[in-house]
Amino acid sequence: MKQSMFSDRDGPGISWGRMLAYTALACLAVLALSRAGLVTWQLGRVEAAGGSRLVFIFLQGLRFDVVTLGLLLGPPAILSPVFATSRRLAGGWIRFLRVYCLLVLAIVVFLEAATPSFVNEFDVKPDRRFVEYLIYPKEVFGMLISAYGLQLLLATALVAGAVYVLNRALGRQVAPGERLPLWRAALLVPLLAVISVAAVRSTLDHRPVNASTVVFSTDPLANQLPLNSTYTVLYALYEMTGEEEDFSYRTVTLERAVAAVRDEMRIPQDDFTAGADSTRHRQTATTPRDRPLNLVIVLEESLGAEFVGSLGGLPLTPELDSLRDDGIWFENLYATGTRSVRGIEAVVSGFPPTSARSVVKLPRSQTDFFTIAFLLGSKGYNTSFIYAGEPQFDNMARFLANNGFQQIIGRHDFIGEVFEGDWGVSDEDLFRLADRFFRQQPPDRPFFSLLFTASNHSPWDYPADRIDPYNSPAATRENAVKYADYALGEFIRAAAAGPYWDDTVFLVIADHCSRTYGAELVPVEHFRIPGLILGESVQPERIDRVVSQIDMLPTLLSLIGISSEHPAIGIDQTRRDLAGFPGRAVMQYGSSQAYMEGERVAILQKGLPARQFVYRSSALSAVADDPAFLAKAEALANWPWLAYLNHTYR
């Protein structure tokens, strides 16, 4: 009986060749249907980006689906002829291959089913955030069940249905018959290897295709429509593994980057106290104190300007709005990124972002990395981090404890809390514990504390009967914001009545906006956040210039009366020599970065030339490039990574 080179045996069983072919066809069908649904859903965005690109999206989509299948099915295809040369090995291999093929289809279906919810939250397809969230199953699956229960149930049903259909198509499992001759396997293995590599590379160019291949507009989501979600997740994993060796917008030396950063700090060159590779400098407090003041930073989860009435947003923050005339209010303050660790990185360390992970999570910054807690601890302060959730989330506890925070207080340290949700205790529980903690601090020793809230987070659960809901049902983003504002107001009133109020400066600031999305390369309007500095000694002021989160650290040092040496590059907003300065901010959006100076904006993308825009009326408009401005933006964008790699930010 003659055997086909793709067959394990003649008869009713399924050959390894047909098993892989059926799996590939099933995956291609799922991916095509998913892409059609996403394009239909986002048709307005597609048309705005270039409606004639529909054919491009689907043809490139098929191309990248083949790339994905080459990655997933290529290795078992190459190995199959080897196992088929032995009847004893082939039996186990065919059973393993069946399970593997079903698992591949399950993953593909699940990721496509999860894509709409992820797009709705982050305005991009599943990326590194999807991977990072899986590290914390307790919080994430609690959130999924509470906020996305129906979607999760639907995804599970789709996965089960797809696996059932493919399993039926594969037929019953049988042991292979005649073994494959060695000479035939020797021909098949290199042939299948060439086919697999060709499928993955998908080009004869020097470099294989990648996510940049399908960039056709300034809308990040539209650019991702040709990519399936399995590919975007695998690509995110690939970037995460090599991010320390493969990062830059342009090749810039450390000395040139440091020179550009020093120039942007707008301080005399004589103030710098280290070599040409460092930003370490002297900062003299603009408000000297006989006794340094306490400092409390309230980092509000996901409180974007779109929810703040006094910033033109929804009327959801009456407490915060009522306080803006009592302190230093920032009209044009911008977050550096879209994740909480970015907010911590910027506010606590004054460190700008890169397209790699935040330094809160990177290995080289886990010790001897500059933070305001490290500086204040060296000045005799008691330093603490008080979080409503699990401090180990996103590696926060490790980074903070190793870099100057003497006490870490988290979810399990709360006793008799009013309310506990999926992400931690309620904001009012957090603030009550903090108020008690501050009242117990020794009066002869100043303290610094970072408070990080959690109530304004999906699935938007908070204590009942605290607010008049803005909309229905109760568990909405808007109502969670309103509750967070209520809890903040209660805390400020309690603090004002406490013994520490007169000796303390408070910063209330968001970590990032609730959702960062849009058709622009960097949606600048979705980085704008509220910021307010309060305290008995704080003179009310309204600052209109562009301000970044990284400016908070030197500003706070001045207000509490601390003169010191440090490497933070932010600009002290209490300086009186800034009149006429338009301000500047940096914003990281995926692998893109925006550098904004007044109305001028430079957009940097990996592997692409920098582009210049003007930002007016909440929109970016392309303008003629100013080479000097773009060169400065590139140098500033590269400096954080170089400083991290060379360990100069300490």
* 3-state DSSP assignment of residue 543: strand
Has residue 117 got a pLDDT over 60? yes
Residue 131 has pLDDT above 70, yes or no: yes
Average pLDDT, the chain: 91
| Co-location of 217 and 326 in the same domain | no
For residue 530, with 0-12 CB atoms within 10 Å meaning exposed, 13-18 middle and 19 or more buried, which class applies? Answer: buried
- Whether pLDDT at 277 is above 50: yes
Q: What is the CATH number of the domain that holds 320?
A: 3.40.720.10
pLDDT tens digits for 249-266?
A: 767 888 999 999 999 999
Which helix (H) or strand (E) segment holds residue 296: the answer is strand 294-300
- Claim to verify: residue 201 and residue 319 sit in the same structural domain: no
Between residues 181 and 140, the one the model is more confident about = 181
**Cβ contacts of residue 3 below 8 Å, gap of 6+?**
9, 10, 177, 178, 180
Query: Burial letters for 158-179: b for 16+ Cβ neighbours within 10 Å, e otherwise?
Result: bbeebbeebeeebeeeeebeeb
Q: Provide long-range contacts, Cβ within 8 A and 24+ apart, for 31-37.
A: 31/61, 31/65, 31/68, 31/108, 31/112, 31/228, 32/58, 32/61, 32/62, 32/65, 34/112, 34/115, 34/228, 34/229, 35/61, 35/225, 35/226, 35/228
Same domain for 296 and 227: no
- Using pLDDT thresholds of 50, 70 and 90, give the confidence band for residue 242: low
Confidence of residue 211 (pLDDT cuts 50, 70, 90): confident
CB 299 within 8 A of CB 452: yes
Q: For residues 481-520, b (16+ Cβ closer than 10 Å) or e, as one string?
A: bbbbbbbbbbbbebbeeeebbebbbbbbbbbbbbbbbbbb
Residue 447 falls inside a structural domain:
yes
* Percent of the chain surpassing pLDDT 70: 95
SS3 571: coil
Indicate if 471 and 563 belong to the same structural domain.
yes
Q: Is beta strand 407-409 parallel, antiparallel or unpaired with respect to 584-589?
A: unpaired
How sure is the predictor about 232, in pLDDT bands with cuts at 50, 70 and 90?
very high
Q: Residue 362 domain-assigned? A: yes
Per-residue buried b or exposed e for 447-465, using 16+ beta carbons within 10 Å of the residue's own CB:
bbbbbbbbbbbbbbbbbee
Residues 212, 292 within the same domain: no
Mean pLDDT of 298-320: 97
Distant-in-sequence, close-in-space partners of 131: CB < 8 Å, separation ≥ 6 = 233, 236, 237, 240
Q: Please tell me the predicted confidence (pLDDT) of residue 178.
A: 60
pLDDT given for residue 6 in this prediction: 40
Instruction: Indicate whether 594 belongs to any domain.
Output: no
Domain end (from 241, 256, 271): 241
d(CA 156, CA 113): 9
The helix (H) or strand (E) run that includes residue 59 is helix 54-83
What band does 1 get if pLDDT is binned at 50, 70 and 90? Answer: very low
User: 353, 328, 341, 334: which is closest to 387 by C-alpha?
Assistant: 341
End-to-end CA separation in angstroms for the chain: 74
Is 292 in the same domain as 203? Answer: no
Q: What local confidence, expressed as pLDDT, does residue 590 receive?
A: 86
Tell me, yes or no, whether 181 lies in a domain.
yes
62-71, 343-352, 632-641: range with lowest mean pLDDT = 632-641
Phi, psi dihedrals of residue 382, rounded to the nearest 5°? -90, 125
Residue 516, SS3? coil
> pLDDT-based confidence at 14, cuts 50/70/90?
low
Classify the phi-psi angles of 246: left when phi > 0, otherwise alpha if psi is within -120 to 50, otherwise beta: beta
Which of 219, 241, 263 represents a domain boundary (last residue)?
Answer: 241
Tokens of 338: 């879209």
The continuous run of DSSP H or E covering 601 comes out as: strand 600-605
Is 310 within 8 Å of 324 (Cβ atoms)? yes
Instruction: Specify the pLDDT at position 556.
Output: 98
Q: Residue 360: pLDDT above 90?
A: yes
Q: Are 476 and 442 in contact (CB under 8 A)?
A: no
602 vs 175 pLDDT, higher one:
602
Any domain includes 464: yes
CA distance 336 to 585: 8
pLDDT recorded at residue 4: 41
Could you tell me if 192 and 301 lie in one domain? no
Q: Tell me, what amino acid is at 640?
A: P
Q: What is the pLDDT of residue 615?
A: 97
DSSP per-residue string spanning 236-253:
HHHHHHTTTTS--SS---
Q: Specify whether 416 is located in the same domain as 564.
A: yes
Give mean pLDDT, residues 606-610.
Answer: 85
Which two tokens mark 109? 């279906």
Most confident of 51-65, 231-245, 297-311, 356-370: 297-311
**More confident position, 243 or 204:** 204
Q: What secondary structure does DSSP assign to 461-500, as a single string?
A: ---TTSS--SSSSSSSHHHHHHHHHHHHHHHHHHHHTSTT
Rounded to whole angstroms, the Cα distance separating 42 from 643 reads 40
Position 7 pLDDT exceeds 50: no
Q: What is the pLDDT of residues 575-585, one digit of tens each?
A: 999 999 999 99
167 shares its domain with 299: no
- Two structure tokens written together for 203: 């080009």
| Exposure of 13 in the CB half-sphere (CA atoms within 13 A) | 18
pLDDT tens per residue, range 401-436: 999 999 999 988 998 889 998 889 999 999 999 999
229 has pLDDT over 50: yes
What gap in Å lies between CA 575 and CA 6, rounded to an integer?
Answer: 76
44, 59, 183, 37: which is closest to 109 by C-alpha?
A: 37
**3-class SS at 604?**
strand
pTM, 2 dp = 0.83
Q: What is the mean pLDDT of residues 594-614?
A: 93
User: pLDDT at position 8, please?
Assistant: 40
CB 593 within 8 Å of CB 586: yes
Residues 290 and 235 in one domain: no
CB atoms under 10 Å from CB of 202, counted, come to 18
Q: Do residues 81 and 192 make contact, with C-beta atoms less than 8 angstroms apart?
A: yes
What would the pLDDT profile of 440-478 be if each residue is shown by its tens digit?
999 999 999 999 999 998 889 999 999 999 999 999 999
Residue 243's pLDDT is 57
pLDDT of residue 248: 64
Judged against a pLDDT cut of 70, whether residue 234 lies above it is answered with: yes
Question: If DSSP codes are grouped into helix, strand and coil, which group holds residue 402?
Answer: helix
pLDDT reading at 5 higher than 80: no
Q: Is the pLDDT of residue 13 over 80?
A: no
For 162-195, the pLDDT digits (tens) are 999 999 998 865 445 567 888 988 999 999 999 9
* Sign of the alpha-carbon torsion through 32, 36, 42, 43: positive
Q: What angle do CA 405, 408, 414 make, to 5 degrees?
A: 155
The last residue of a domain, from among 535, 553, 577: 577
Coil, strand or helix: which one is 148? Answer: coil
In this structure, how many other beta carbons lie within 10 angstroms of the beta carbon of residue 151?
15
Q: Are residues 404 and 528 in the same domain?
A: yes
Q: Are 172 and 301 in the same domain?
A: no
Q: Which two tokens stand for residue 294?
A: 């306490």
Q: Which amino acid is at 366?
A: Q
pLDDT > 90? residue 75? yes
Residues contacting 567, CB < 8 A, separation 6+: 278, 279, 280, 281, 370, 643, 648, 649, 650
Has residue 404 been placed in a domain? yes
Query: Has residue 638 been placed in a domain?
Result: no
Predicted local confidence at residue 11, as pLDDT? 41
* β partners of residue 421: 424
Q: How many residues does the chain have?
A: 650
Q: What's the pLDDT at 172?
A: 64
pLDDT for residue 629 is more than 60:
yes
Quick one: pLDDT band at residue 636, thresholds 50, 70, 90? very high
Split into its structural domains, the chain has a count of 2
In a domain, 258, yes or no: no
Mean pLDDT of 529-550: 97
Range of the domain at 113: 16-241
SS3 annotation, 312-375? CCCCCCHHHHHHHHHCEEEEEEECCCCCHHHHHHHHHHCCCCCCCCCCCCCHHHCCCCCCHHHH
Comparing 101 with 150, the larger pLDDT belongs to 101
Mean pLDDT of 480-501: 98
- Quickly list DSSP for 576-589: GGGTT--BEEEEEE
Please count the other Cβ atoms lying within 10 Å of the Cβ belonging to residue 317: 26
